[in-house]
Structure formats: C-alpha cells, structure tokens
Structure 1
Amino acid sequence: MTKYIRRAAALCVLLLVALLVNATRVQVFPSRAYDDSPANRRPVIARWAQPRGDIVVDGRPVTGSKDTGEQLRYERTYQDGPLYAPVTGFASQRYGTTLLEHAEDPLLDGSDPLLSFLPLWNDITRDRNAGGEVVTTIDAAAQQAAYLGLGARRGAVAALEPATGRVLALVSRPSYDPGVLSGNGPSVTDAWARLNGDAGKPMLNRAVRQTYPPGSTFKVVTAAAALDTGVITDLDAPTRSPAPYTLPGTTTSLANEVEGCENASLRHAFEWSCNTVFAKLGVDVGLGAMKDTARAFGFNNADLRIPFSVSPSNFDTEMDRAQLALSSIGQYDTRATPLQMAIVTAAVANGGAVRSPYLVERTTTAAGRTVATTSTRTLGQAMNPGTAMRLRELMRGVVEDGTGTNAAIPHATVGGKTGTAQHGIGNSGTPYAWFIGWAQSDDAMEPQVAVAVVVEDAETVRGDISGGGDAAPIAREVMEAVLKSTDHQLR
C-alpha cells in the first residue's frame, strides 16, 4: 500500500512540476502575444486604472484625470483644451493618443521603466508606477496672445527662443477641445465624426503639420544665400534688376506690388519686398547654393521632432532657372510650416546658428524626481555670423521703415519680414498673410523671441501689405508677451 501512495505522490509532484514549467513557459515565451491579443482587455483596463500624469505649462497642469467608476476608470480631462490642443493632442480611450500625449505616453501612463527604481521588478509583477509629469517650454502668456490674436481666423503661430530652441508658443486655429474625445461612449463617437467632418479641420495642427507657400518671407533665405556667396556685397548698391523681370527661358514677366524696384538695392528690395530683385538673385546664386542654404535652415528635413513629428518643409532640389526664380520668392513648389519659418527667423536672431526646437523642458516622476531633461542642440550653421548681422539690419528696416511697421514694440528692437503667398488656380485664392520676426528688449543682450504667423483667410489683399496688416499685429502681441515674461523673470 505504501508503494502505491509513494507512486501517487510522485505523480502529483510530477504534475505540479509540469504545471509550474508550463506556467513559466507561458509567462516567458508567448506572453507578448497574449498581451498584444485584441481579445486581451487587461492591458487596456490597467492603462486606465490609475490617473494619467499631467502636462504642465508655466508650473500649472493643463491636463487632469476624472474617476468615472467604470471598468476603464480614469478619463483624461483638459484645462483650456482648445488653447493647448496643438501642444497636448488628445488621449482617448477609443481613438488613442496624439502629439505630446502620444510622444510621452509611456511616461504619462506610468509604464516607462525610468519611473521606477527597480524596473525589472515591475516587469515581473506587471505593476505600473504613478504617471509622470511632462513639463513644457510653453510660455502661457505668449500662447494666449497667439490664440486671441488669431481669433476666428484660420492660421497658426509658432514662437521660439532663438538661443536655445525652446518652443514658446504653438497655436493652430480653428481648434477643438480634446476632452470630448477622452472617453469611449456614444458622445465620443459623435464628436469624432463631427470634428473629422468639419471643413475647418480643427484637429489639424497647422503650426507643425501644415505646409504653406511662404511667399516673401522666404526672401530671408534668398538674401542669406546671396550674401554668403558674395553675389551681394553691399546692401545699398544697385542690383541690376529689371522690372518687370522676364523669367529665364520663358516669355513670362514677373512684376512687383510696389514701385521703385528696378535696379533697387538689396536694402530697398527687402524692406518693400521687390519680387523681381529676389527672383533674379536666386538665379544669380544658382540652384546648388540655394538648395544648400535652404537645407541648412532646415528645409527638406524629414527627421525633425519636438518630440512629436513635424511635417518636412520643401525646397525643390531639381528645377530649371525659371522655377528657381519663383522658388526664390517663396512660390512654385516651395512650402514651409510656421515652425520652419520660426526656425529661419531664430537662426537670423542667433548669429546664423540653427537650434533644434524642443517642446519638453523635462520629465519627472509623480513625486517630482527628474527623469530626463532636454538640452540645447545645434542642427547646424545656416549662414555666416556676419551675414546674420546684416540680415538683422535688413529685418529691422522692414519694421522701422518698410511693410512691417505694425510689428513695432516700444522699448524694444524688432526685425521682421512680411509676406503673402498666392495659391489656388491662377493664384485666384485669397493670399495667405505671413509675418516672421524677432524681438529684443532694449536692456537685453540678445533677441529673446522669434515668431512666425500665417493667416489663411486674410481680409486685406494687397501683396505683402496683407502680411503687415493681418499677421504682423499678431506677431507683435506674441513677442511683447514673451518680452514681458522675460523681463519679469529677470527682475
């Protein structure tokens, strides 16, 4: 009898060992497949079982979490949702995540191993840490100034700190409240359909995901190429430019919106935006130098992230001379995001050095321990420092004596460039109004802000004057807000 008991006991031990081995096998080898199976709701339940970490602007959380008491317990909430939507994006239980909510998702939902002192233990226990915080570089006053400045008009604003690349404002209008997409009920489905069907495309982040023909604001790039290559050596010397200018190899004449452009100096042509002068300059510089300069400013860069992706801005690398002439004044196939044109402006303000833009200052645990910080990184040198100094002089002239006087700020030095971008069949559409500029307080050592503004539905249609009339006042409000914030911090 004892023999049979021993055999039964041995069989039980064997079965127990087999059970443990199989359980271990399931935990180690096919566990990822089980985790990723659409039928497995445990990861989704765990993801929303605790409050999500916050996104912070100027020391204040602009996000939160609401306890619903349902299986997917916590829903995302937003403070001033439409104002910060181009920064935060949305975190939806049904439709996933976008922008910062997506780029920093592992930290915000608590699954990032860097949040734990013992990441391996979390892997074994499948525990989640409390969600961390994402501290942004956004200046709340500048963000609000850009949002209110655009008002009901379609458009976008991007503002940078030239010396570092910190993103100070990122606004797109029309906007939307990300909170309407947070849950998973019928109202969320209805909101998704409504937002996607809206002709105004409120979920499109125009500041970083929409490219526009930059129009005359691109003349900053052309001027930089002309000065760097020595095609222009004297800002006040005649440029031997006819008006109108016949595009090379064609019978098509290019005209100007203003008088006095024939044989104008670079200074006069820049202040009053003479198309004929800059079209000829682009041809004289040549395709090779023009595309190299555009690339140095950041055009044709498909890898830019802030940390979410930015649509690449385009300057064609293969063109005939007529196409090059048009591209040199921001037409033909040249296209840029507002962020890209802010990068161009910041490079001029920063002595020609192009800083990589970034939106996240640092990330922390829920308890405040720093997880990671973002440091200033240089993408390259867009132009010689001497060229940057002369461009700053030209841009000051636009604001003091030219088409950009609406951007002037008391007790500050401001440089800028206005522009209109023709579009539509036969350029029949209302031009996009552009203004790019930088500002420096009288008591500051260097420019503190660079900004780009585009207004899609400008009311004034008069060449570059629409940029000065519609976009420049918005840029002025944003730059002034940054200068006031900076001066207050210094005091």
Structure 2
Amino acid sequence: MIRYIRWCACFCALLLAALLVNVARVQVWEAAAYGANPANKRPAVERYAEPRGDILVDGRPVTGSRDSGQLLRYERTYENGPLYAPVTGFSSQTYGTSLLERAEDAILAGTDPGLSAFPLWYELARGRPSGGNAETTVRAGVQRAAYTGLAGRRGAAVALEPATGRILALVSSPSYDPAELSGTGGPVKAAWARLNADPARPMLNRALRETYPPGSTFKIVTAAAALDAGVVADVDAPTQTPDPYPLPGTNTLLPNAGSGCQDASMAEAVQWSCNTVMAKIGVRVGLRAMVDAARRFGFNEEGLRVPAWVSRSNFDTDMSPDQLALSSIGQFNTRATPLQMAMVAAAVAGGGELPSPYLVERTTQDDGDQVRRGRPHGLGRAMSPATALRLQEMMVAVVENGTGHNAAIPGAVVGGKTGTAQHGVGNAGTPYAWFIGWAKAQDAPLPGVAVAVVVEDAEARRGDISGNGAAAPIARAVMEAALAAPAKR
C-alpha cells in the first residue's frame, strides 16, 4: 500500500514539475508573443485605464482626457484642436499616435521610468504612475497669429527663437481636429477615411514633413556661400551679369521677374531678388562649395527631430553647371521644409550659428516635478559672424527698400527675403509664395524671432513679389506677436 502511495506522490510531483515548466514557458519564453497577439486586449485596456498626461502651451493644457465608460475607458480630448494639431498630433485608440503625442508617448502614458523614483516597484506590481506632462516651447499668441494669417490656405508657418532654437509657433494649414480620431467605432473610422481622402491633406504636417522648392529665399544660402568662399568680397560691386543670363552650357536664357538686374551687385540682387546675378554667383562658387554651404545650413542632413521627426531638405550633390545655377536660386531639385528655412533665417539672425530647433521645454510628473528639460544647443556654424552681419544688413534692405516691405514692423528692425517657387509641368502650377525673416525689438541686443512662411496657393502678377503680397504679411503678424510678449522661462 505504501509503495502505491509513493508512486502516486512521485506522479503528482512530476505533474507539478510539468505545470511549473509550462507556466515558466508561458510567462517567460512566450510572454512577448502572447502580449503581441492581436487578440490580447489587456495592453490596450491597461493603456487607457487611466487619464493620459497633458501637452501644455504657455503652462496651460491644450489636451485632456474624457471618461467614455467603455472598455477602453479614457479618450483623448483637445482644446482648440485645429490650432494645435501640428504640434500635438493625435492620440487615437484606433489609429495610434502622431507627432508630439507619439514622441512623448512614454511620458504621457505613464510608462517612462523617469516618472517614478521606484520604477521596479511598478514593474513588479504590474502598475504604472500617473501620466506626466509635456510643456512645449510654443507661445499661444504667436501660434494663433500664424494660424489666423494662413486662414485655411494651404501652407505653413514656423517661428523660432534664434538664440536657443525654441519653436515658438508651428502651424500647418489647412488643419483638422484630432479629437475626431480619439475613440473607437464608426464615427472615428469615418473621420479617418474622410481626412485621408481630402485632397487638401489636412493631416499632413507641412511645417515638418512637406518639402517645397524654396525659390528665392535660398539666395540667402547662396550669398553666404559666396561671402565665406571669398567669391564675393564687396557686396556692392557690380557683378558683370547680363539680363537675361545664359545658363552655362545651354542655349537657355534665365530671366528676371523684374527690371534693374543688369550688372547688379549682390546686395542689389538680394534686395530686388535678381535670379540672374544669384545664379551666376552660385556657378562661380562651384558645386563642392555650394554643397558644403547647404549642408552647414542643415540641407542633406538626416535624423533631425524636434522631437517629432522632420523630413530631409535637399540640395543635389551631383549637378551640371546649368543645374547648379538653377539650384542656387532655389529651383531644380532644391527642396526644403518650412522649418529648414526658418533655421536659415535664425542662423543669419544668430550671428552664423545654426540652432537646433526643439519643441519640448520640459517633461514633468503629474505633480509638476521635472523629469527632463530641453537644452538649447547648436548644430554648428553655418557661416562666419562677418558674413552673418553682412546678410543681416542685406535682409534689412529687402524689408526697408526692397521686395519685402509688407513685413516691416514700426519700432522694430526687420530683415527678410521674399521668394516664389515655380513648380508643376513646365512651371504651370500656381507659384508657392515664401517669406523668411527675423525681427529685433529696437531696444533689444539680439533678434527675438526668426520665421518662415510658405503659401501654396498664392496668386501673383510677378515672381518674387508674391512672397511680399501673400507670405510677408503673415510673417509680420507672427513676428509682432513674438516681440510683443517675451516668453516665460
């Protein structure tokens, strides 16, 4: 009898050992596979079981959470959703996250280890701290000025603080309300389908993700390259440039949009946006030096994040002389994001140093204790300080006596550059109107804001003036708002 009991005990022990091995297999070796199984709803239920942390502008939340009473309990809400959508992106229970909602998801969702002094405790307890907050560098008044100025037209506007790289405004137009995508069910799917089918592409962040031919605003890069390379020593000296200018190696004549560009100096070419002069200067600088100059300004560089990712701006590295001439005036294959062109303006305003743009001032726990802080840093020197000073003088002349007079602000020093970018087959598309610039309060030691504005559907009688008519007034309103109230630190 005792022998049978022992056999039974041994058999039970084997069963227990097998059970423990299977538990270990499920809990350890196959845990990831089970967790990733689409049928497993526990991660989603846990993710939305608590309110999400907020994104702040000027210290006030522009996001929130609503108790839906459903299985996925808390849905994202947005205050002034279309105004801040290019900053926040969306947080959807159906379609995931985008932009800042994605880049700072760990903080907002409460899964970042920095939110707790004892992260291991939450791991063992299968819990998590409350979602933290992301305080942005955006200033409400500057953001609203850009949004109001674009007035639903296709385009984008970016404002930076030149000394630090803080993004003061980030607007893409037309916009959308991310609250439409927050929950689940038919209305969310219908909104997603409608927004993606819209030919105006309202969910495209044109400020960060779209690249445009920068047109004549790129002449600032070409002028910087010429000055730093010593190709132009005197910005006021005649350049011996014909009007029109024969593109090298071709029978094609490059015209100007206006008159007075025959034999103009580089300063006059920037002031009145002479294609012929700046194309010739770009050819004289040469391909290698132009590529190097464009790279110093941020072109052809991968991996820029603010912290959302930014599309790469392009300046071709292998071109014939005629292609180089066109590229030097922002045409051919030259393409840039509005953020990139704001960086160009900021580099001029900042004495030649290219700032690294950033959107998050700091992240905090839900009680306000700091987790991480954004640190201003430069991306390198785009040009010498002497070159930056000369370009500042030339850009001021553009606004005071040239093509950019609509950007002038009484009581402030404003420098700028207008531009028109042709596009489409045979340049048949409506030109893109550009303005880049910077502004300094009269009693301030340094410029306080740099901007870039592009308007896609800008009608104009002649090339570069469309930048003055369509984009410069928006830039002026943005710069006025930035100078009106210094940012709180």
| Coarse TM-score class (shorter-chain normalised) | over 0.9
Question: CA–CA distance in 2 between the matches of 1:480 and 1:398?
Answer: 18
Question: CA–CA distance in 2 between the matches of 1:231 and 1:468?
Answer: 29
Please state whether the residue corresponding to 1:208 is helix, strand or coil: coil
Partner of 2:238 in structure 1? 238
Partner of 1:325 in structure 2? 325
Q: Give the C-alpha shift of residue 18 in structure 1.
A: 4.5
Establish whether residue 83 from structure 1 lines up as the match of residue 58 from structure 2: no
Establish whether residue 385 from structure 1 lines up as the match of residue 385 from structure 2: yes
Partner of 2:169 in structure 1? 169
Within a 5 Å distance, the mapping from 1:264-283 to structure 2 comes to 264-283=264-283
Question: CA–CA distance in 2 between the matches of 1:232 and 1:331?
Answer: 22
Partner of 1:102 in structure 2? 102
Question: CA–CA distance in 1 between the matches of 2:58 and 2:11?
Answer: 66
Q: State the TM-score, normalizing by the size of structure 1.
A: 0.97
Partner of 1:475 in structure 2? 475
Partner of 2:65 in structure 1? 65
Instruction: Indicate if the aligned counterparts of 1:418 and 1:464 stay in contact, CA closer than 8 A.
Output: yes
Q: Give the C-alpha shift of residue 125 in structure 1.
A: 2.7
Q: Give the C-alpha shift of residue 122 in structure 1.
A: 2.4
Partner of 1:349 in structure 2? 349
Q: Give the C-alpha shift of residue 479 in structure 1.
A: 0.6
Please state whether the residue corresponding to 2:165 is helix, strand or coil: coil
Amino acid at match of 2:27: Q
Instruction: Indicate if the aligned counterparts of 1:430 and 1:461 stay in contact, CA closer than 8 A.
Output: no
Partner of 1:123 in structure 2? 123
Instruction: Indicate if the aligned counterparts of 2:431 and 2:459 stay in contact, CA closer than 8 A.
Output: no
Q: What whole-Å deviation, never above 9, does each CA across 1:116-141 have from its counterpart, x for those lacking one?
A: 22222322332122111111110110
Question: CA–CA distance in 1 between the matches of 2:9 and 2:61?
Answer: 61
- Alignment coverage as a number of residue pairs: 489
Unpaired segments of 5 or more residues in structure 1?
none
Question: CA–CA distance in 1 between the matches of 2:13 and 2:111?
Answer: 38
Partner of 1:247 in structure 2? 247
Amino acid at match of 2:154: R
Within a 5 Å distance, the mapping from 1:145-294 to structure 2 comes to 145-294=145-294
Please state whether the residue corresponding to 2:439 is helix, strand or coil: strand
Please state whether the residue corresponding to 1:478 is helix, strand or coil: helix
Partner of 2:455 in structure 1? 455
Amino acid at match of 2:469: G
Between 1:361-370 and 1:397-406, the stretch displaced more is 361-370
The CA RMSD measured in Å over matched residues stands at 1.5
Partner of 2:439 in structure 1? 439
Amino acid at match of 2:400: E
Within a 5 Å distance, the mapping from 1:301-450 to structure 2 comes to 301-450=301-450
Amino acid at match of 2:459: E
Amino acid at match of 1:108: L
Unpaired segments of 5 or more residues in structure 2?
none
Q: Give the C-alpha shift of residue 23 in structure 1.
A: 2.5
Q: Give the C-alpha shift of residue 10 in structure 1.
A: 6.1
Question: CA–CA distance in 2 between the matches of 1:79 and 1:4?
Answer: 74
Question: CA–CA distance in 2 between the matches of 1:413 and 1:332?
Answer: 33
Q: Give the C-alpha shift of residue 190 in structure 1.
A: 0.6
Question: CA–CA distance in 1 between the matches of 2:31 and 2:279?
Answer: 62
Q: Give the C-alpha shift of residue 28 in structure 1.
A: 2.3
Question: CA–CA distance in 2 between the matches of 1:6 and 1:61?
Answer: 68
Q: Give the C-alpha shift of residue 3 in structure 1.
A: 6.8
Amino acid at match of 1:89: G
Amino acid at match of 2:275: N
Please state whether the residue corresponding to 2:433 is helix, strand or coil: strand
Amino acid at match of 1:120: L
Please state whether the residue corresponding to 2:485 is helix, strand or coil: helix
Structure 1 segments of 4+ aligned residues over 3 angstroms from their partners: 1-22
- Identical-pair percentage: 66
